[in-house]
Amino acid sequence: MPIVADTGLPSFERFRREGGEVLSPDRAGSQDIRELHIGLMNNMPDAALEPTERQFLRLVGGCNRIAQFYVYPFSPPQVPRGERAQAHIQQYYHDFSQLKEAGLDALIVTGANPVCAQISDESFWEPMCETLDWAVQNVTSTLCACLATHAAFLHFHGIERQPLAAKRWGVFSHRVALEHPLVRNVNTRFDVPHSRWNDISAAQMSGASQLVLAQSAEAGVHLATSADGLRLVFFQGHPEYDNFSLLKEYKREVNRFLAGEIDDYPPYPDYYFTEEAYPILEAYQSRAVRARAQGVACDEFPEQQVPVDNTWGDTGKIIFNNWLGTVYQLTDRDRRRPFMPGVDPSEPLAHIF
């Protein structure tokens, strides 16, 4: 369904060139179609700021509801930014205080790049908690991605994320753990990328009366919700990732090895690369290790030569379609406000679930 390009945000044009349906405000205003207004709290670092916009636009734009989607990116000023990213935010992003006044039907809170041992010490912690507190009282549903999930569990339930022995990194097989509208029409087994150093387990989530909907024997919980089934939706995986997102992360780690920032050559992300990729990657590893030992420059990482498959995108679109479809049922047709402001987030939405 169409996304309305209500600003000159470059990601709208990029999405249109990829084949997504994007409407101008004039064209959208001439059609008698229901609107949904979705906030996007983008906490990602500068290099990932615009790619994260595009990734979530694709998931929203893949929804098949008869609606026009207005997406409002915003980023807390407490997050340190370089000059280019700050200019991008000032030109294209929205002010959260104004979004609160206007109202939102749904909200996406992205993850972030952790730099502190304690999540409560991160620059985004206080604005994220403020946003979540407002959202559970005023937004029909808020989707928390990865680190935002960990922040929400600490803020609302006092549950600390647990450090992993090694980075959980790759594309893992998951199974549906509970029948629920969010996993309607999803294959019982499906793939999801993960990239994180910390975890909240199924036992921790269930102990707080949260609903675990999809999990992996190797990677843990991917999808869960608050006790009411919708108020908060939690991702630990990354269904929004592009085909090459993990490849770029792997390239970054290889470059860190070449720069002497890490001692060991990075391992491959689990279950991600195709068999055709390994000869290319192994040959480059040999050159990189030799170049570092000799103190000479190595040729560029052969990113364009490495084939990768996307085995998770369709499932991510289905879950987003289910999520926004449920929000669509619960929001007022005529106002940018949910039907249920001020409802306790622990109260079951019995008329839907």
Question: Do 114 and 121 touch, CB atoms closer than 8 A?
Answer: no
Question: Do 175 and 215 touch, CB atoms closer than 8 A?
Answer: yes
Mean pLDDT of the chain: 91
Comparison of pLDDT for 63 and 66, the residue scoring more: 63
**Residue 71 to residue 63: CA distance in whole angstroms:** 13
Q: What tens digit of pLDDT does each residue of 216-263 get?
A: 999 999 999 999 999 999 999 999 999 999 999 999 999 999 999 999
Judged against a pLDDT cut of 80, whether residue 334 lies above it is answered with: no
Do β-strands 106-109 and 35-41 pair in parallel, antiparallel, or remain unpaired?
parallel
Judged against a pLDDT cut of 90, whether residue 80 lies above it is answered with: yes
The stretch 124-153 carries a mean pLDDT of 97
The pLDDT of residue 341: 39
Establish whether 116 is a catalytic residue: no
Q: What tens digit of pLDDT does each residue of 163-220 get?
A: 999 999 999 999 999 999 999 999 999 999 999 999 999 999 999 999 999 999 999 9
The pLDDT of residue 30: 67
The pLDDT of residue 249: 96
The pLDDT of residue 23: 76
In the chain, which ranges are E strands?
A: 3-4, 22-23, 35-41, 68-74, 106-109, 141-145, 162-176, 189-199, 211-216, 220-225, 232-235
Question: Do 231 and 142 touch, CB atoms closer than 8 A?
Answer: yes
Residue reference for tokens 């996993």: 183
Report the Cα 86 to chain-centroid distance in Å.
21
Burial tier of 38 (Cβ tally within 10 Å: 0-12, 13-18, 19+): buried
The pLDDT of residue 328: 86
Out of 53, 122, 240, 249, pick the active-site residue.
240
At residue 182's C-alpha, the angle toward residues 322 and 180, to 5°, is 140
Judged against a pLDDT cut of 70, whether residue 332 lies above it is answered with: no
Establish whether 238 is a catalytic residue: yes
The stretch 29-44 carries a mean pLDDT of 86
The pLDDT of residue 294: 97
Out of 50, 63, 144, 146, pick the active-site residue.
146
**pTM of full prediction above 0.85:** yes
Out of 37, 238, 249, 253, pick the active-site residue.
238
Written as six digits, the tokens of 109 are 């809170």
List, in order of start, the domains of the chain with CATH numbers.
3-242+310-330 (3.40.50.880), 245-305 (no CATH)
The stretch 118-136 carries a mean pLDDT of 96
High-pLDDT (> 70) share of the chain, % = 91
High-pLDDT (> 90) share of the chain, % = 80
